[in-house]
Amino acid sequence: MRLDSDSSTPDDVAKRAAQLRLEINRANRLYYVENAPELDDAEWDARMQELLAIEAAHPELQSPDSPTQRVGSPPAAGFDEVVHPVPMLSLGNVFDEDGFRAWYKRVLDYLELEKAPMVCELKIDGLALAITYRDGVMERAATRGDGERGEDVTANVRTIRSVPLTLDGPAGEIPPVVELRGEVFLPNSRFAALNAEREEAGLPAYVNPRNSASGSLRQLDSSETAKRPLDMFFYALGYVEGGEEPSSHWDTLQSMQRWGCRINDWTRKAETIEGVMAAIANAGEIRDSLDYGIDGVVIKIDSLSLQRRLGFVGRDPRWAIAYKFPAEQAETTLKAIHINVGRTGALTPWAELEPVIVGGVTVGRATLHNKDEIARKDFREGDRVVIQRAGDVIPQVVEVSPKNNRGADSKPYQFPDTCPSCGTETVQSEGEAVTRCVNATCPAQFERLLEHFASRGAMDIEGLGERVAQDLPRLGFVSNIADIYRLHERKAELLELDKMGETRVDNLLSAIEASRFQPLYRLLYALGLPGIGSESAEWLSRRFSSLSRLLEVTEEELLAIDGIGPVVASTLINYFGIEQNRNLIDNLIELGINPIDDTPEPSADHPANGATFVVTGRLESMSRSEAQNRIKTLGGKATGTVTKKTSYLVAGAEAGSKLEKARRLGIPVIDEAEFIAFMDDGVVPEVSAPDDH
């Protein structure tokens, strides 16, 4: 009932505002989340207008959970950076049943289990978000960003009506602080209408609904976002503080639904591979009937305790995988073949195409992968070809169309044997498909290399982003990586650059100076050594300890490192054999950029250091892989074969032939408890060599 403005007390007004917020938020949940509307439009509008009037007259009553906050606020100056308390990592992909079976087998082998129940979810083609609630009220919403850091888009997310401003659940069930994750998307049914509005306003059309969702969410003016019909499905719990987590992913989804979050009704459990494949088949069948884009199915191990045990490999969780649908295809004409020189010197051919629509997107260029692929499939300029969008994202040329008719002037494509940018002779290591220019001063790759060198995961030089990384070489300030450490000598010239200014220049030079003290592994990764990622850069750093030592490394020494194979070893030897690259490293050393890796070796005092272990049978508190990792961390060696050189056999339940062999050879046998005490406390097990029997 409306208040009488003449007789209402402040307490009456506050109670009425609270009641209206409760009723409107409940109506929003029923309408947008549960598809069970309680109020008709007129009733909802009446309540909203009354609440708006109360808050306008009494601004002190406005609260973060008020539905009036969904209408948007004035433009922001920009987006603040948000550091995710738990990284928002990527997913590995599989593309067929064999790939999925192989992933599931690896999971079971790692866990040493016969089975692990799973949950299947539709892989929504949208934008990942993390939303933090404190005491049940939305506090912050952030984009995924690079996984470690995202953008604060709280004001915009408040406008999405399927996102609760407050969580609602049984007393004590909602943790004091909880981060929930999900996917924001634009319904297909609203995409065409939105593009029509943009074209009428003289704005460029969005390429696809995902692009539209991203653009809508990143509006600096949240009142503009409020006009966009964005929607959201929640799919995970990211972070909890001061409360208990559910025991399974399935229970997590049910909890979030009870709290007022919209989850995808299609989501289902699967106990077996066959159950997962049936779910994937169903998703493929209904794909075209959905009002949102999907490009596959995400499969997750259900148990959260097993997820924690599985952990991560690189930036992918071991406990989840994305099964990607086959890409959509179309035919068109390959007009010309061009070569792009990438950051690592890879010569990547790409096709200029007669524009064609594939999966709702107009495609005018596509990758041709590499030199060998062009030769194997005999792609030629002028051919009629089949193209597809791999993972529904990256366009690629698949094959020459069966309908293709070549003229008399058709000739096989000749891949260049020198770099089209710098003229350096290209190399192709044995066993590697990629052709490379390994000249680190090559102009075509230098801008991308400079941007990578300065990135957060590398030397972390704030202020040296994409635009500056393009401007500095083009304006003659730098021609190789070492030149950035001479920029302080040209400060006056930098100040004359457009949009730089004294503060920006000072900050850039300070960040460059600070980068001198980054550890060796970051420098190695930053240099963009071919085939070397952040993890393998750490291996090189620990093994060779300095830049000057790396210049003298042999292929045999590289191959002795676990994880470095013959292709990467050969490519690195080629890289260090190029005079320009050796000069670059010499220049860095002369400029004082020569970090030494002094990471201590495992303690020589620990009795496991230098010992050789074999782990067999089933352990209760850890898998064999986890046990082997603990051994290696302490300087021990974990092998799979019992020999006379084995120091200890760690025997779990149901140990078999290895235990028998250890007994025959007189190898000391220890149980799980003795092993843990050995690893944790250095307590050497008091065992005698078993009798030979």
Which residues are 316's β-sheet partners?
313
Please report, to the nearest 10 degrees, the dihedral formed by the alpha carbons of residues 10, 12, 14, 17 taken in order: -140
163: nearest Cα among 6, 32, 308: 32
d(CA 670, CA 675): 6
Identify whether 123 is a catalytic site residue.
yes
Question: Are 110 and 311 within 8 A, CB to CB?
Answer: no
Residue 376: CB partners within 8 Å, gap ≥ 6?
A: none
The amino acid at 668: P
Judged on CB neighbours under 10 Å (0-12, 13-18, 19+), 503 is: exposed
Closest to 422 measured CA to CA, from 520, 526, 347, 360: 347
Could you tell me if 446 and 422 are in contact, meaning their C-beta atoms sit under 8 angstroms apart?
A: no
Which phi and psi (to 5°) does residue 322 adopt? -105, 125
Distance in angstroms (rounded) separating the CA atoms of residues 545 and 404: 56
Alpha carbon separation from 634 to 494, 606, 630, 662, 687 (Å, rounded): 50, 7, 7, 23, 21
Phi and psi (nearest 5°) for 647?
-80, -45
Q: Helix/strand/coil (H, E, C) string of 515-534? A: HCCCCHHHHHHHCCCCCCCH
Q: Please measure the distance between the N-terminal and C-terminal CA atoms of the chain and give it in whole angstroms.
A: 91
> Rg of the chain over CA atoms, in angstroms?
30
Q: Are 179 and 238 a contacting pair, CB within 8 Å?
A: yes
Three-class SS state of 411 = coil
What is the spatial distance between Cα 147 and Cα 240, in angstroms, rounded to a whole number?
Answer: 18
Rounded distance between C-alpha atoms, residue 98 and residue 125, angstroms: 24
The answer to whether residues 559 and 553 touch, using CB atoms and an 8 Å cutoff, is no
Helix (H, G, I), strand (E, B) or coil at 603: coil
Burial-class residue 526 by CB neighbours within 10 Å (0-12, 13-18, 19+): buried
Q: Determine the 3-state secondary structure of 233 from DSSP.
A: strand
- 670 phi and psi, to 5 degrees? -125, 150
Paired strand residues for 339: 349
Beta bridge partners of 394: 390
Torsion of CA 243, 244, 248, 254, to 10 degrees: -50
Q: What angle do CA 553, 557, 560 make, to 5 degrees?
A: 155
Cβ burial of 141 (10 Å; 0-12, 13-18, 19+) is buried
From 123, 300, 324, 371, the catalytic residue: 123
Catalytic residues: 123
